[in-house]
Amino acid sequence: MADIWIVDDEPAICWALQKSLTADGHSVKVFASAETFLQGLRDPATTKPRLLLLDVRLPGASGIDLLRQMTIEHPDVPVIMMTAFGDLRVAVEAIRGKAFEYLTKPFSLDVALQAVSRALDQAHLDKHPAPPKVEAELRQSPLLGDSLAMRHVYKQIAVAATIDAPVLMEGEPGCGKSLVAAMIHRFGPNPSGPFLPYRPADENGQTIEAELFGIRILSPSPTIQAGLLQLAAGGTLVIDEVGQLPIKLQSKILTAIESRQFMAVADNKPIELAARLLFTSSHPPDSLVDDGDLLPALQSQLDVYHIQVPALRERKDDIRQLIVAFLAAESNAQPLTITEEAIRSLQSRSWPGNVRELRQAIQYGAVRAKGNVIQAVDLPPTTDPNSLPASIDQPLSDAIKLWASQKLSHRTPPAELADTAKPAELADGHLYEDCLAIIDDALISQLMIELDGNRAAIAQQLGIHRSTLRQKMKRYDAKRMPG
């Protein structure tokens, strides 16, 4: 546990924070003024704090001034600023002064304790930099690339492998989040333990709960059917697309993380959580919270260590290296090669499907290559909507025109409009909605097939939030499609 110092002249706040933090096992010291705090900080016999909670308005000095001083003299001590004067100027000064977090009074104890937990975890990470050997090995792992963006990811993986906190990997579909998770496991303390990826197969909360937590079976004799949290003991469980979990189960997972225990469905006996938990998301956690798809308290837990996996278009310098690796994987008796023209074509694309799409492009070309050499003509047509030829869009445009014409020709105006000059479509005013319904239904249904029912990937391609996609699927009955 940590030595935490509080500098605030409000006794009630100090008492509440001290009591809660002490109950969590921390050693807490309280100072009512900047002067007494500085005396304690300069006392050679006093153990220095690992974390400082600092009020902005103090007798005799400004908390912002103390923050600047701490940044210079004790840069390894994270500072959480507190103030009842929540104006923009103070917030900007706190951030410029490199405060870890900024709390506006009155704040709940839960919010403050979560901030303390995140600050202590971040301080631990800062003191344990990525082991150079591990980072070097990561560059030779299946997670390929030597761009600046990927070197940053390697460092984050190396650090994540040394800690026991949950890790969130965020990135677009196909960018390599599962490989990042595999590398965290591989370089962690238990690489020989189980590595279990899990993505909910449907939206049935009871099924998902039993799959994750296990379930108590009563016949023929009472027994616990182990869930993935138990099966992954001594290893790693990766929960894909955390925002797809029902909120109720997110709360249960959060409790398991915090208490290191969980219970199977229909049972009341606690089971030790002995697995490392990793999470992935194709969408930013804050947007999931805004849409009601992610529990705010779970977001706070996942914010402790959050790895942003870059899209392929953000690291195009890695495309040649990835192509070479994929060519080797597709080669059989004779080596498979590719022309420079074909490489330039691949490098010019935007890759909405990321690394997965690039690998599929190489597989596509390998099947069509003559003489084991992939030419530009052997590559799949680009999926970049900005570069689609007009001839692909034209049939859709013609079909909509024909549909509209036939709709109008078969629609009879009501009697009250028959003698007016108003067009027939004004009789009910649903033509536009009808057209959108047909397009939405066809588009979503086809994407369900093309993307194997991956709702996160579908929402990504459509450029909408997953909650909006769910509403459309319910409205247009797209759930009848696979997935």
Three-state secondary structure call for residue 81: strand
So what's the pLDDT on residue 425? 42
Return the axis-axis angle of helices 431-450 and 455-462, rounded to nearest 10°: 130
- CATH code of the domain containing 377: 1.10.8.60
Asked, for residue 408, whether it belongs to a domain, the answer is no
Report the distance separating Cα 83 and Cα 54, nearest Å. Answer: 9
- Verify that 475 and 434 share a domain, yes or no: yes
- Verify that 147 and 286 share a domain, yes or no: yes
Q: 10 Å Cβ neighbour count for 248?
A: 12
So what's the pLDDT on residue 263? 95
Which residues are bridge partners to 308 per DSSP?
Answer: 170
- Tell me whether residue 330 is exposed, middle or buried, using C-beta atoms within 10 angstroms of its C-beta: 0 to 12, 13 to 18, 19 or more: middle
So what's the pLDDT on residue 85? 55
So what's the pLDDT on residue 152? 84
- CATH code of the domain containing 83: 3.40.50.2300
- Verify that 138 and 268 share a domain, yes or no: yes
So what's the pLDDT on residue 65? 85
- Verify that 180 and 92 share a domain, yes or no: no
- Verify that 108 and 150 share a domain, yes or no: no
Asked, for residue 8, whether it belongs to a domain, the answer is yes
- Verify that 9 and 140 share a domain, yes or no: no
Which one of 351, 367, 385 terminates a domain? 385
So what's the pLDDT on residue 291? 84
First to last CA, the chain: 46
Low-confidence ranges of the chain (pLDDT < 70): 84-98, 121-142, 201-204, 383-392, 410-429, 476-483
So what's the pLDDT on residue 451? 78
So what's the pLDDT on residue 5? 94
Three-state secondary structure call for residue 232: coil
Q: Where would I find the H helices in 260-339?
A: 285-290, 296-302, 319-330
- Verify that 325 and 446 share a domain, yes or no: no
- Verify that 303 and 181 share a domain, yes or no: yes
So what's the pLDDT on residue 132? 53
Asked, for residue 87, whether it belongs to a domain, the answer is yes
- CATH code of the domain containing 468: 1.10.10.60
Asked, for residue 334, whether it belongs to a domain, the answer is yes
Which one of 127, 143, 167 terminates a domain? 127
DSSP-derived secondary structure letter, 305: S
- In terms of Cα–Cα distance, which of 89, 32, 30 is closest to 61? 32
| Contact status, residue 306 vs residue 118, Cβ threshold 8 Å | no
Residue with tokens 């940590």: 2
Reported in sequence order, the residue ranges of 136-194 that DSSP labels E, i.e. its strands, are: 167-170
Can you say how many angstroms the Cα of residue 374 is from the centroid of all Cα atoms in its chain?
A: 36
Q: How far is CA 463 from CA 174, 241, 280, 283, 390, in A?
A: 16, 17, 19, 11, 22
- Verify that 168 and 292 share a domain, yes or no: yes
Which two tokens mark 123?
């301080």
Question: For the chain, what is the domain count?
Answer: 4
| Full domain range(s) for residue 325 | 313-385
Q: 10 Å Cβ neighbour count for 305?
A: 22
pTM more than 0.75: no
- In terms of Cα–Cα distance, which of 304, 310, 248, 315 is closest to 279? 304
- Verify that 23 and 152 share a domain, yes or no: no
Which two tokens mark 289?
């919270």
- In terms of Cα–Cα distance, which of 187, 287, 183 is closest to 238? 183
Asked, for residue 295, whether it belongs to a domain, the answer is yes
- CATH code of the domain containing 268: 3.40.50.300
| Contact status, residue 405 vs residue 392, Cβ threshold 8 Å | no
So what's the pLDDT on residue 474? 74
Asked, for residue 201, whether it belongs to a domain, the answer is yes
Asked, for residue 336, whether it belongs to a domain, the answer is yes
| Contact status, residue 441 vs residue 477, Cβ threshold 8 Å | yes
- In terms of Cα–Cα distance, which of 192, 302, 195 is closest to 245? 302
- Verify that 300 and 163 share a domain, yes or no: yes
- Verify that 110 and 225 share a domain, yes or no: no
Which one of 249, 281, 310 terminates a domain? 310
Q: Where would I find the H helices in 335-424?
A: 340-347, 354-368, 390-409
Asked, for residue 409, whether it belongs to a domain, the answer is no
